[in-house]
């Protein structure tokens, strides 16, 4: 879980750890179900250590992590502001697969087409799952939007795999 | 609706070729296919691989050059035009990429057309059309002309039309080819609904989203089947990984 | 300059790419212009032949019918007195006669016909000597027949005939300018026969009296107590132009001689051609209307392809003006070609139609195709082409480029009531009625064309009926060659009309099949059998044709009555079963003409059409 994400979630108002968790869950939908609960607290602790957030004990309650109230520090706010205007984008990591195919062909270890087909099948399955989940979400839900994004990325990857298939298909002589 | 599991569509050695000698083009080359009741089968492939031609053969819109074809236990590759027309009327539903609605008819009038051609009484046909438009979520647009409907809505009307005769199989030829992504989702939803209602579907597409609705996905190249994938059974598990969360 | 060349190239390419409709268009306009040319040329057929005959026979300026005052000396004296007055009148330079004229019946091979016999000397007369065209002049026991009369009887030189039972031989055949040719001998204008023999039968017989010459003694034999002799006196005037005045002056008294100036005979001899005229002009109008309807349908039918071309032209920078010009240029070019062809055909056909019987020396020769006529015909052709393409041309030039390219510029009409009604009908009628409702204007045009055709056919039937009525009581008698010629004219016209109607039906059917291509393919994909689709397209043609054909019945009867003029005693109505047969025959023909292209289209595989065309 990226630190900046949690920081940004705190920007609205100081919150308990469990409140943060709930907000994340809501934003992520079914994907959020796979999230490790503990992750949030680990990240919060790191943030505190880095001086980007502070914590306060809720009055009159035992000293347990989910009773702490966390808030942004000035440095933390600065970090969030900087993060919001960043335009970096997660990098596609296609080089690995690309090199896999080349290596297999060069060394004669495996048929590149078979590798492509297998990968296609896997991606199709994932697409199916993501799509099902997306359709199950109500209209205009935040989670639905995220799932749509996943689906579209998978679709793009599948298109590239089709291109790989065309490229690696041995040229046939006209019959 | 058909018996779940029994074979609804069967093809053996199906062929379609054009020209002869040097100029012979094998659009469909010895295809074997078996579709059970309630299945959704997807056919994918690059342009010109013959998938649309195959669909037209399966749906009785064109005559095969050779091979055998059975639909609901009846052999249909040798049928005359008249019998094929009756088949299209009663047992088959077809959805086209270009929708092919009549411009001067409203949505309801478009949907009821196959029933009227089959000789059904006008009132019955109108009621059935209303039912189906409700099913595809366009009950409030029944009196609209196609020019007043969006692309996705038009295709949904076409889907309703394909269901009028409660067909054994519904064939769809690139159903989302002319649609934007939102309209694609509308159609997707419908296909999932049809599938869960037990309708047998055969879909030709190059859109992987539509293909992903299929339980069986067949790849086609140069007129022949080259690969088959079963997409049913279990989820892949960690959706979170897909989102980049872990 | 470059623009004109570009337009020319566009037009040429289009014509070469799709010659079919262009050919149909040319045929339609050609038929109309040919009929029009024929009508106009005939109108201008002068009475040259009459003048030729008059010159060859030294025809009289005035023909006097004297006598009839009774037999015996008193009658004889009266006749001589009348003769003297006339031959001594001022202005008379020469004369021949008086020749005795008797009435008799000629019989030949079972046919009997009344004939006026004029007694002549064997030696040629100085004034009014009929020109012998076959055989020789009169001799004792020999009769010379007037040429059209001889043709009608079917006799030739040397045949044996009987005149009132007495045997005679046909000595020769001749023409004259002093009388109207058979069968108009008894017409009041320029004619006036004195046939007086008793006969039974209806009055039409009087109109079919023939003319023949025998020797004077032979003629006198036929005079009887009941029928006093008349005499023909032929006068030549110093001033031939003054003949009508002369006739008025000396022919006024009721008991006196009847005088006929040569101008009246000239007019009368053109009557045969006039009859044909009265048949030809309404015919030409009908043909013209049909041609316009065909052209309009063709223009409308091509609109669909046109519109896309218009869009392309505009998208690459053509102004609406340019676009209109390109569209019109094509049709006007075709119209010009058709006009030229029509002029040629009309001119070539005119002599066949215009020969005013064989009664006069010489044929009319090449009927004068004046510049005036040519200009009129070309103008009509251009107007026809312009009228039917102007509206679509302007409309297409004004449609927005976008909609033209997207082919939505001419969407079919929507008629909710027709659609609801057709839902209750069986599949072929459902398809047919909806096709009609899509293009109401074309349906209207189609109905109008059928009305025009039916009107023509019913008018012809009415004519045939009237001819039959006339000849009903004339068993064994001669027919009227005028009627024969009229019938010939009408047959030609009917053939032209029917040909045009077939052309029109093909044009409409083609336009419908083209327009319905997508809907028919879709209907078949949704389960309509090819037979249902074919029947639907045929029904789409027949449905508007029904009111059209029914309307043609009263119109056709009225047209015949009007064309016949005051001559028709009562409007002739053909028998009911003829009418029913005509109407049904037209409808069946239309259905068949539509079914052929429809069937061909309905057998084609469905997928290519549905793949290439959008909804």
Q: Looking at chain C from residue 409 to 448, which residues have their Cβ under 8 Å from any Cβ of chain B?
A: 411-414, 419-420, 423-424, 426-427, 430, 438
Lowest mean pLDDT among B10-24, B131-145, C347-361: C347-361
Residue C415 exposed, middle or buried by CB count within 10 Å (0-12, 13-18, 19+): middle
Q: Is the peptide bond before C120 cis (omega within 30 degrees of 0)?
A: no
In this prediction, residue B238 has a pLDDT band, given cuts at 50, 70 and 90, of low
User: For residue C358, what pLDDT is reported?
Assistant: 44
User: For residue C56, what pLDDT is reported?
Assistant: 84
Average pLDDT value for residue range C282-291: 68
Residue B73 within a domain = no
| Domain, as residue range, for B135 | 39-60+78-231
Residues A4-22 pLDDT 10s: 888 888 888 888 888 888 8
Instruction: State the alpha helices, DSSP H only, in C242-370.
Output: 243-250, 262-269, 271-315, 320-354
Contacts of C524 in chain B (CB under 8 A): 85, 88
Q: Is the pLDDT assigned to residue B62 strictly greater than 80?
A: yes
Average pLDDT value for residue range C420-426: 89
Average pLDDT value for residue range C163-177: 89
User: For residue C227, what pLDDT is reported?
Assistant: 60
Residues B158-187 pLDDT 10s: 999 999 999 999 999 999 988 998 899 999
Average pLDDT value for residue range C559-582: 72
User: For residue C137, what pLDDT is reported?
Assistant: 92
Residue environment code for A21-58, b if the CB has 16+ CB neighbours within 10 A, otherwise e: beebbebbbbbbebbeeeebbebbbebbeeebbebeee
Examine the domain organization and report whether C392 and C535 are in the same domain.
no
In this prediction, residue B235 has a pLDDT band, given cuts at 50, 70 and 90, of low
| Domain, as residue range, for C350 | 1-43+270-411
Examine the domain organization and report whether C163 and C95 are in the same domain.
yes
- Å between B69 CA and nearest CA of chain A: 27
B155 token code pair? 């295709």
Residue B70 within a domain = no
Quote the percentage of chain B above a pLDDT of 70. Answer: 92
- Å between B106 CA and nearest CA of chain C: 9
Average pLDDT value for residue range C34-54: 67
Q: Say whether residue C522 is in contact with chain B using an 8 A CB cutoff.
A: yes
ipTM score for this prediction: 0.85
Residue B127 within a domain = yes
Give the H or E element holding residue B221. strand B216-221
Examine the domain organization and report whether C403 and C419 are in the same domain.
no
In this prediction, residue C66 has a pLDDT band, given cuts at 50, 70 and 90, of confident
Contacts of C532 in chain B (CB under 8 A): 85, 117
Q: Say whether residue A56 is in contact with chain B using an 8 A CB cutoff.
A: no
In this prediction, residue B2 has a pLDDT band, given cuts at 50, 70 and 90, of very low
Q: Which residues pair with C148 in a beta bridge?
A: none
Out of C427, C525, C615, the one facing B101 most closely (by C-beta) is C615
Residue identified by tokens 């009927």 is: C367
Domain boundary among C221, C240, C269: C269
C244 three-state secondary structure? helix
Lowest mean pLDDT among A56-70, A76-90, B6-20, C429-443: A56-70
Q: How many CA atoms lie within 13 A of A37 on its CB side?
A: 6
Q: Which of B63, B113, B128 to mutate to test the interface with C (most CBs of C within 10 A)?
A: B113
Average pLDDT value for residue range C367-377: 74
Q: Taking each helix axis as running N to C, give the angle between helix B122-135 and helix B107-117, from 0 to 180 degrees, rounded to the nearest 10.
A: 130
Out of B61, B109, B114, the one facing C606 most closely (by C-beta) is B61
Examine the domain organization and report whether C75 and C18 are in the same domain.
no
Higher pLDDT, C208 or A25: A25
Domain boundary among C381, C411, C441: C411
Lowest mean pLDDT among A51-60, A120-129, C92-101, C129-138: A51-60
- Å between A32 CA and nearest CA of chain B: 7
Out of C423, C519, C614, the one facing B102 most closely (by C-beta) is C519
Residues C487-500 pLDDT 10s: 666 777 777 778 87
Q: Is the pLDDT assigned to residue C612 strictly greater than 80?
A: no
Neighbours of chain B (3+ CB pairs under 8 A): A, C
Examine the domain organization and report whether C90 and C210 are in the same domain.
yes
Q: Say whether residue A75 is in contact with chain B using an 8 A CB cutoff.
A: no
User: For residue C364, what pLDDT is reported?
Assistant: 44
Cα C168–chain centre separation: 40
- Å between A106 CA and nearest CA of chain B: 24
Tell if the CB–CB gap between B114 and C423 is shorter than 8 Å: no
Examine the domain organization and report whether C249 and C174 are in the same domain.
yes
User: For residue C349, what pLDDT is reported?
Assistant: 76
Closest residue on chain B to A156 (Cα): B208
Q: Is the pLDDT assigned to residue C242 strictly greater than 70?
A: yes
Average pLDDT value for residue range A80-88: 86
In whole angstroms, give the CA distance from residue C154 to residue C162.
14
Residues A13-68 pLDDT 10s: 888 888 888 888 888 888 877 777 788 888 888 888 988 888 887 765 666 655 77
Q: CATH no. for residue B161?
A: 3.40.50.300
Q: Which among C339, C489, C318 is positioned nearest to C33, based on CA atoms?
A: C339
Q: For chain B, how big is the Rg over CA atoms in Å? A: 18
Q: Apex CA C153: angle with CA C147 and CA C159, to 5°? A: 85
Q: Give the CA distances from residue A164 to residues A115, B46, B204, C536, in Å, rounded to whole numbers and listed in that order.
A: 10, 12, 21, 52
Instruction: State the alpha helices, DSSP H only, in chain A.
Output: 3-11, 17-28, 30-33, 37-50, 74-84, 95-107, 112-136, 142-168
- Å between C612 CA and nearest CA of chain B: 9
Contact in structure between B106 and B126 (CB atoms under 8 Å):
no
Examine the domain organization and report whether C437 and C552 are in the same domain.
yes
User: For residue C413, what pLDDT is reported?
Assistant: 75
C144 three-state secondary structure? strand
User: For residue C440, what pLDDT is reported?
Assistant: 85
Higher pLDDT, C218 or C288: C218
- Å between C456 CA and nearest CA of chain B: 37
In this prediction, residue B151 has a pLDDT band, given cuts at 50, 70 and 90, of very high
C275 token code pair? 């009859």
Q: Give the CA distances from residue C89 to residues B106, C75, C127, C129, C262, in Å, rounded to whole numbers and listed in that order.
A: 94, 21, 17, 22, 17
Residue B19 within a domain = no
Average pLDDT value for residue range C395-415: 65
Instruction: State the alpha helices, DSSP H only, in B70-226.
Output: 81-90, 107-117, 122-135, 151-162, 181-196, 208-211
Q: Which among C261, C206, C325 is positioned nearest to C91, based on CA atoms?
A: C261
Q: Looking at chain A from residue 3 to 22, which residues have their Cβ under 8 Å from any Cβ of chain B?
A: none
Average pLDDT value for residue range C573-595: 87
Q: Which among A109, A106, A155 is positioned nearest to A128, based on CA atoms?
A: A155
Average pLDDT value for residue range B58-64: 88
Average pLDDT value for residue range B121-140: 94
Mean pLDDT over each residue of chain C, to the nearest integer: 77
Tell if the CB–CB gap between C525 and B88 is shorter than 8 Å: yes
Domain boundary among C380, C411, C442: C411
Residue B65 within a domain = no
Out of A126, A155, A162, the one facing B236 most closely (by C-beta) is A126
Residues C437-452 pLDDT 10s: 888 888 888 888 888 8
Cβ count within 10 A of residue B49? 22
In whole angstroms, give the CA distance from residue B127 to residue B124.
5
User: For residue C542, what pLDDT is reported?
Assistant: 93
Cβ count within 10 A of residue B246? 12
A122 token code pair? 């896997």
Average pLDDT value for residue range C459-472: 72
Residue C44 exposed, middle or buried by CB count within 10 Å (0-12, 13-18, 19+): middle
User: For residue C47, what pLDDT is reported?
Assistant: 44
Contacts of B208 in chain A (CB under 8 A): 124, 127, 154-155, 158-159
Examine the domain organization and report whether C164 and C208 are in the same domain.
yes
Contacts of A32 in chain B (CB under 8 A): 240
Mean pLDDT over each residue of chain A, to the nearest integer: 84
Average pLDDT value for residue range B40-51: 88
Examine the domain organization and report whether C371 and C520 are in the same domain.
no
In this prediction, residue C303 has a pLDDT band, given cuts at 50, 70 and 90, of low
Q: Is the pLDDT assigned to residue C46 strictly greater than 80?
A: no
Task: Tell me how many domains chain C contains.
Answer: 3
Q: Say whether residue A121 is in contact with chain B using an 8 A CB cutoff.
A: yes
Contacts of B207 in chain A (CB under 8 A): 155
Query: Can chain C be said to touch chain A, i.e. do they have 3 or more Cβ pairs within 8 angstroms?
Result: no
Q: Say whether residue A25 is in contact with chain B using an 8 A CB cutoff.
A: no
User: For residue B230, what pLDDT is reported?
Assistant: 86
In this prediction, residue B154 has a pLDDT band, given cuts at 50, 70 and 90, of very high
In whole angstroms, give the CA distance from residue C398 to residue C375.
33
Tell if the CB–CB gap between B245 and A28 is shorter than 8 Å: yes
Average pLDDT value for residue range C568-578: 71
Q: Is the pLDDT assigned to residue C330 strictly greater than 90?
A: no
Report chain B residues touching chain C, CB-CB < 8 A: 52-53, 56, 61-63, 81-82, 85-86, 88-90, 94, 96, 98-105, 109, 112-114, 116-119, 121-122, 125-126, 145-147, 161, 165
Q: Say whether residue A102 is in contact with chain B using an 8 A CB cutoff.
A: no
Quote the percentage of chain C above a pLDDT of 90. Answer: 9
Average pLDDT value for residue range B28-51: 90
Tell if the CB–CB gap between B146 and C615 is shorter than 8 Å: yes
Task: Tell me how many domains chain B contains.
Answer: 1
Q: Apex CA C603: angle with CA C600 and CA C606, to 5°? A: 125
User: For residue C54, what pLDDT is reported?
Assistant: 84
Residues C534-551 pLDDT 10s: 999 999 989 999 999 999
Quote the percentage of chain C above a pLDDT of 70. Answer: 70
């Amino acid at each position: 879980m990226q630190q900046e994400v949690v920081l940004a979630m705190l920007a609205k108002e100081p919150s308990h750890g469990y409140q943060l968790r709930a907000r994340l869950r809501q934003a992520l939908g079914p994907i959020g179900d796979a999230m490790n609960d503990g992750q949030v607290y680990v990240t919060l602790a790191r943030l505190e250590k880095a001086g980007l957030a502070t914590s306060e004990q809720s009055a009159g309650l035992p000293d347990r992590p989910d009773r702490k109230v966390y808030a942004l520090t000035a440095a933390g706010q600065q970090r969030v502001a900087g993060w919001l205007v960043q335009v970096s984008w997660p990098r596609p990591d296609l080089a690995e697969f690309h090199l896999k195919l080349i290596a297999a062909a060069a060394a004669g270890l495996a048929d590149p087409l078979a590798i492509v087909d297998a990968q296609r099948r896997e991606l199709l399955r994932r697409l199916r799952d993501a799509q099902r989940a997306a359709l199950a979400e109500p209209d205009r839900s935040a989670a639905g939007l995220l799932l749509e994004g996943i689906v579209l990325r998978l679709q793009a990857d599948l298109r590239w795999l089709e291109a790989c298939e065309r490229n690696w298909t041995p040229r046939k002589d006209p019959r | 609706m058909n018996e779940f599991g029994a074979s609804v569509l069967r093809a053996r050695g199906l062929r379609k070729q054009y020209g002869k000698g040097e100029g012979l083009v094998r659009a469909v080359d010895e295809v074997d296919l078996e579709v059970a009741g309630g299945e959704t089968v997807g056919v994918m492939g690059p342009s010109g691989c013959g998938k649309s031609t195959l669909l037209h053969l399966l749906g009785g819109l064109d005559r095969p050059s050779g091979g055998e074809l059975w639909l609901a236990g009846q052999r249909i590759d040798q049928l005359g035009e008249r019998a094929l027309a009756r088949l299209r009327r009663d047992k088959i539903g077809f959805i086209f990429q270009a929708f092919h609605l009549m411009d001067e008819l409203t949505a309801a009038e478009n949907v009821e057309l196959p029933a009227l051609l089959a000789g059904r009484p006008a009132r019955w046909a109108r009621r059935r059309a209303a039912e189906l438009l409700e099913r595809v979520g366009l009950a409030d647009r029944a009196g609209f002309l196609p020019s007043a409907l969006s692309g996705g809505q038009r295709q949904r009307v076409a889907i309703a039309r394909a269901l009028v005769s409660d067909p054994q199989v519904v064939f769809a030829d690139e159903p989302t080819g002319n649609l934007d992504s939102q309209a694609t989702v509308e159609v997707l939803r419908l296909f999932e609904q049809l599938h869960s209602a037990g309708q047998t579907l055969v879909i030709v597409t190059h859109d992987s989203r539509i293909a992903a609705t299929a339980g069986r996905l067949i790849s086609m190249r140069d007129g022949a089947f080259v690969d088959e994938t079963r997409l049913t059974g279990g989820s892949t598990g960690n959706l979170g990984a897909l989102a980049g969360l872990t | 300059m470059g623009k004109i060349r570009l337009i020319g190239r566009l037009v040429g390419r289009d014509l070469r790419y799709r010659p079919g409709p262009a050919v149909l268009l040319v045929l339609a306009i050609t038929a109309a212009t040919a009929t029009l040319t024929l009508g106009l040329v005939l109108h201008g057929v002068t009475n040259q032949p009459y003048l030729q005959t008059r010159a060859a026979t030294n025809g009289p300026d005035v023909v006097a019918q004297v006598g009839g005052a009774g037999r015996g000396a008193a009658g004889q004296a009266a006749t001589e007195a009348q003769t003297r007055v006339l031959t001594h009148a001022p202005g008379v330079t020469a004369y021949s006669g008086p020749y005795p004229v008797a009435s008799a019946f000629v019989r030949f091979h079972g046919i009997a016909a009344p004939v006026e016999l004029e007694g002549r000397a064997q030696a040629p007369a100085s004034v009014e000597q009929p020109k012998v065209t076959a055989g020789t002049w009169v001799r004792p026991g020999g009769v010379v027949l007037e040429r059209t009369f001889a043709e009608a009887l079917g006799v030739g030189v040397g045949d044996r005939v009987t005149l009132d039972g007495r045997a005679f031989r046909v000595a020769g055949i001749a023409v004259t300018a002093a009388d109207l040719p058979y069968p108009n001998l008894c017409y009041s204008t320029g004619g006036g026969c004195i046939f007086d023999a008793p006969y039974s039968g209806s009055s039409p017989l009087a109109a079919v009296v023939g003319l023949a010459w025998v020797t004077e003694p032979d003629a006198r034999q036929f005079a009887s107590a009941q029928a006093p002799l008349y005499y023909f006196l032929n006068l030549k005037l110093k001033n031939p132009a003054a003949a009508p005045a002369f006739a008025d002056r000396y022919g006024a008294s009721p008991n006196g001689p009847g005088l006929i100036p040569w101008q009246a005979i000239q007019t009368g001899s053109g009557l045969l051609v006039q009859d044909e005229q009265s048949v030809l002009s309404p015919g030409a109008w009908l043909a013209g209307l049909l041609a316009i309807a065909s052209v309009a349908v063709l223009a409308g039918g091509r609109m669909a392809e046109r519109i896309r071309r218009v869009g392309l032209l505009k998208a690459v920078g053509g102004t609406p003006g340019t676009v209109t010009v390109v569209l019109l240029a094509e049709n006007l070019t075709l119209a010009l070609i058709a006009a030229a062809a029509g002029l040629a055909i009309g001119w070539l056909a005119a002599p066949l139609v215009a020969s005013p019987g064989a009664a006069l020396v010489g044929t009319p020769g090449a009927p004068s195709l004046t510049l005036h006529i040519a200009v009129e015909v070309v103008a009509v052709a251009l107007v026809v082409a312009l009228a039917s393409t102007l509206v679509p041309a302007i409309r297409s030039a004004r449609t927005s480029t976008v909609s033209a390219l997207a082919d939505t510029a001419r969407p079919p009409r929507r008629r909710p009531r027709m659609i609801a009604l057709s839902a209750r009908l069986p599949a072929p009628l459902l398809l047919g009625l909806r096709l009609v409702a899509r293009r109401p204007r074309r349906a209207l045009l189609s109905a109008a064309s059928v009305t025009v055709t039916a009107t023509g056919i019913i008018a012809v039937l009415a004519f045939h009926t009237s001819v039959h009525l006339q000849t009903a009581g004339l068993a064994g008698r001669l027919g009227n060659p005028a009627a024969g010629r009229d019938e010939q004219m009408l047959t030609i016209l009917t053939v032209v009309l029917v040909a045009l109607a077939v052309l029109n039906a093909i044009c409409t059917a083609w336009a419908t099949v083209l327009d319905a291509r997508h809907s028919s393919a879709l209907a078949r994909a949704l389960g309509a059998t090819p037979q249902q689709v074919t029947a639907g397209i045929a029904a789409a043609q027949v449905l508007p044709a029904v009111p059209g054909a029914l309307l043609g019945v009263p119109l056709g009867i009225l047209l015949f009555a009007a064309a016949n003029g005051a001559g028709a005693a009562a409007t002739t109505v053909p028998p009911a079963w003829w009418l029913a047969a005509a109407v049904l025959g037209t409808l069946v023909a239309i259905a068949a003409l539509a079914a052929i292209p429809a069937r061909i289209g309905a057998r084609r595989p469905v997928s290519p059409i549905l793949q290439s065309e959008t909804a």
